[in-house]
């Protein structure tokens, strides 16, 4: 009887310790940390439309404090929010993208277009070269993004996964 009481009390202590022990949270990347992506969807300013989905994947492992949070090849996504076609006077095409948050475990990492900003939009454009005077009569070049093209964005705020996901 004494042995069963000792065993029961030991079991109670062990269960209490295990219940109160928590696993440490995963480290998260600092705000403004670069995140390397590659396009897995080809885009062209001539054929793209507002609302088109855009797919990316991580170009390299996403790490924080030496811990791999997401492996290279993990999916990311966004949407086309603005399209400008090439025009006269050498104006080249451009595409605006809005990035979706990156899901890592049970949290979301906001992806930003620039290091300090709060916006999740990225403006992609092709430089235009105006050759005077005949360049005024020439259309600029369309923006073409091929599969595998790199894109560097930046980590933003980290928050819990939304209920819709």
Please answer whether residues 105 and 26 qualify as being in contact, where contact means their C-beta atoms are separated by less than 8 angstroms. yes
pLDDT tens digits, one per residue of 6-53: 555 555 555 555 544 455 666 777 888 899 999 999 998 889 999 999
Query: Is the pLDDT reported for residue 128 higher than 70?
Result: no
Beta strands across the sheet bearing 121-125: 102-104, 107-112, 150-160, 34-39, 53-58, 75-84, 94-99, 121-125
pLDDT in the model for residue 147: 94
Q: Is residue 119 part of a domain?
A: yes
> pLDDT class for 68, splitting at 50, 70, 90?
confident
Please answer whether residues 130 and 141 qualify as being in contact, where contact means their C-beta atoms are separated by less than 8 angstroms. no
Range of the domain at 73: 26-160
Tell me the range of 3-17, 117-131, 144-158 where mean pLDDT is highest.
144-158
Q: Is residue 5 part of a domain?
A: no
Question: Can you give the CATH number for the domain in which 112 is found?
Answer: 2.40.128
Q: Is residue 135 part of a domain?
A: yes
Query: Is the pLDDT reported for residue 96 higher than 80?
Result: yes
Q: Is residue 122 part of a domain?
A: yes
Q: Is residue 127 part of a domain?
A: yes
Q: Is residue 15 part of a domain?
A: no
Q: Is residue 8 part of a domain?
A: no
Count of domains observed in the chain:
1
Q: Is residue 11 part of a domain?
A: no
């Amino acid at each position: 009887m004494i042995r069963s009481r000792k065993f029961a009390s030991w079991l109670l202590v062990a269960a209490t310790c295990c219940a109160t022990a928590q696993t440490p949270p995963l480290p998260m990347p600092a705000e403004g940390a670069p995140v390397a992506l590659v396009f897995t969807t080809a885009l062209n300013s001539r054929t793209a439309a507002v609302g088109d989905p855009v797919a990316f994947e991580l170009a390299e492992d996403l790490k924080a404090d030496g811990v791999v949070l997401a492996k290279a090849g993990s999916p990311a996504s966004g949407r086309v929010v603005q399209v400008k076609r090439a025009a006269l006077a050498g104006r080249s095409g451009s595409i605006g993208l809005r990035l979706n948050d990156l899901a890592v475990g049970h949290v979301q990492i906001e992806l930003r277009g620039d290091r300090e900003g709060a916006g999740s939009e990225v403006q992609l454009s092709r430089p235009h070269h105006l050759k005077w005077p005949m360049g005024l009569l020439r259309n600029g070049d369309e923006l073409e993004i091929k599969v595998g093209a790199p894109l560097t964005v930046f980590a933003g705020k980290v928050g819990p996964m939304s209920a819709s996901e």
